[in-house]
Structure 1
Amino acid sequence: MRNPFIVRPGERPCPVQTIVSYFVVCVLIIGFFWISLAQVGVVLDFSFVSQYQVRIVDGLLLTIQISLWSLVISLAIGLPVAAGQGSRILPVRYLCDVYVKLMRGTPLLAQIYLFFYIVGTAWGVENRVVAGIIILSIFSGAYIAEIVRGSLNSLDASQLEAARAVGFTRRQTLRYVVVPQLVSRTLPALTGQLASMVKDSSLLSAIAVIELTQTMQEISAATFNLFGTYLFLAGVYLALTLPIMFVSRYFERKLDYAHAA
């Protein structure tokens, strides 16, 4: 009888094998965590959820709102920065390059403090939610710029030459050749970046943005239920990011299929 937990090289597991294997892995992880809780004498209590459900929902909605707005603005930042990195005007090219290196090379938490208390104060950005969206957008814009730049560099030059050979204008080449491939190649990475953005938004609690993490911190302080609140918080973030990860995986499979065709 064939072992349901083993596949041959290059073979994709069937749905039953996938479900059974995931179930076994989840049981092992939950069992290990449960034993660890028993070892340290922690009893989980989630009764606070019903008591503070309105505040939790408000924090969750603000987290989603911040993440979506940050995605839109970071796209508006990342696309021109990606184009600017290949600019013939050297100051523009180096400005974009320095921006990407600074954002990717420094911790987001440090950027939050520096922007909100120095730049935000100097330029009158007093709304913490707006400041948080701006900070997260600037930070994520650097990563999106690298995603787009990598996709642009991966385009086959022969396709651009073929487009010119058949008489395409620059606008037609952009519309029918560059943009479709750019979208298909960046979508998986962009959906993954959205998942990272959702998690990164939790750091905005450092400047008292009342999103999900800050809400749970306040509930934890009020109920003295540290482990229950943070385990619940982890579960909510997992529920937010898992669907995004599945969407990203779906786009990756579609892209592989397109290449295989």
Structure 2
Amino acid sequence: MNMKNIFITKNKDNLSFGKILFNSILLTAFLILIFWISLAKINISFNFFFVNEFKIRIIKGFLMTFYLSLGSLIVSLIIGVVTAVCHNSKILFIRYLAIAYVKFIRGTPLIMQIYLFFYIIGTAWGIDNRFFAGILILSIFEGAYISEIIRGSFISIDNSQLEIAKAVGFTKHQTLKLVIFPQLIARTLPALTGQFSSIIKDSSLLSMIAVIELTQTMREISSLNFKLFECYIFLGLLYLILTLPITYISEILERKFNYEN
């Protein structure tokens, strides 16, 4: 076999298992080498024995982040769909409300929104459960971005396709199910994947309202054992455990709903 063929491909969708495995191992070895050289240059050695000592707290923090992210993912998707629909409402009040919501959320930082929604609005309306408050805050924040992803994808669908569907006798339900919905999935999935990953990472800011999620847990552990680098590197690995499956599932769905060819 020509060695050049191991590293080069002309068709990205037709890669052999051997090529994928070889290049994945090569990439991993390269990254580990760069990281190891960097550590050697600054004379740092890592000790991860603290993981076993604090494993119960780490598991609780991990599960809290998982539940927060899962709840926020579902609620933010609902908010995003509703807002995208309201954005084109014939009732001006509803349309302007959706536009104002998106502009406000996208134009202000999440840190400010956490303080606003929890300590002012949440206190005024008696929302004192920090877990549910965290889900609502994250969902409101991410929902604005998801609504724009969905709205932009819908706008990108050629109107001629809707006219053709109408001409062949499709009902509105059939047009939505057979024409619009499959294309929306294919066009929104890449952006939604990034947004869902952002939900997981943005949940770390909920430590500001004393939600003991993963980042806050590792921050507390590092203050006890003074192993700052080890704690945050391990934290990054735990977040990868949460975000990588989303990317993998998205790639599967993208291939399933790819109708371009």
TM over 0.5: yes
- 1:33 aligned residue: 35
Shift of 1:188: 4.1
- 1:18 aligned residue: 20
Deviations 1:205-243 (A, max 9, x none): 222211111111111111111111111110111111111
1:189–1:248 Cα contact (<8 Å) kept? no
2:185–2:257 Cα contact (<8 Å) kept? no
Within the alignment, does 1:208 sit opposite 2:210 as a pair? Answer: yes
Distance in 1, matches of 2:78 and 2:195, equals 14
- 1:52 aligned residue: 54
Instruction: Name the SS for the 1:259 alignment partner.
Output: coil
Shift of 1:60: 0.9
Deviations 1:82-106 (A, max 9, x none): 0111222333222212211222232
TM-score of the aligned structures, taking structure 2 as reference length: 0.89
- 2:260 aligned residue: 259
1:188–1:251 Cα contact (<8 Å) kept? no
CA 191–167 in structure 1, closer or farther in 2 if over 3 Å, else same: same
Shift of 1:250: 2.3
The more displaced of 80-89 and 167-176 is 167-176
Shift of 1:182: 2.9
- 1:69 aligned residue: 71
2:183–2:257 Cα contact (<8 Å) kept? no
- Aligned partner (choices 5, 8, 14) of residue 6 of structure 1: 8
- 2:112 aligned residue: 110
- 1:134 aligned residue: 136
- 1:84 aligned residue: 86
Distance in 2, matches of 1:10 and 1:192, equals 22
Give 2:37's aligned amino acid.
I
Give 2:60's aligned amino acid.
D
Deviations 1:5-51 (A, max 9, x none): 22348785433223222222222222222222222222211111111
CA 115–187 in structure 1, closer or farther in 2 if over 3 Å, else same: same
Give the 5 Å matches for 1:181-260. Answer: 181-256=183-258, 258-260=259-261
1:132–1:204 Cα contact (<8 Å) kept? yes
TM-score of the aligned structures, taking structure 1 as reference length: 0.89
Distance in 1, matches of 2:185 and 2:15, equals 29
The more displaced of 5-14 and 224-233 is 5-14
CA 242–11 in structure 1, closer or farther in 2 if over 3 Å, else same: closer
CA 11–168 in structure 1, closer or farther in 2 if over 3 Å, else same: closer
CA 55–10 in structure 1, closer or farther in 2 if over 3 Å, else same: closer
Name structure 2 gaps, 5 residues minimum: none
Shift of 1:117: 2.1
Distance in 1, matches of 2:13 and 2:75, equals 41
The more displaced of 118-127 and 56-65 is 118-127
Give 1:106's aligned amino acid.
T
Q: Tell me the matched-pair count.
A: 259
CA RMSD of aligned residues (A): 2.2
Within the alignment, does 1:119 sit opposite 2:137 as a pair? Answer: no
1:71–1:194 Cα contact (<8 Å) kept? yes
Name structure 1 gaps, 5 residues minimum: none
The more displaced of 214-223 and 14-23 is 14-23
Give 1:21's aligned amino acid.
N
Instruction: Name the SS for the 1:238 alignment partner.
Output: helix
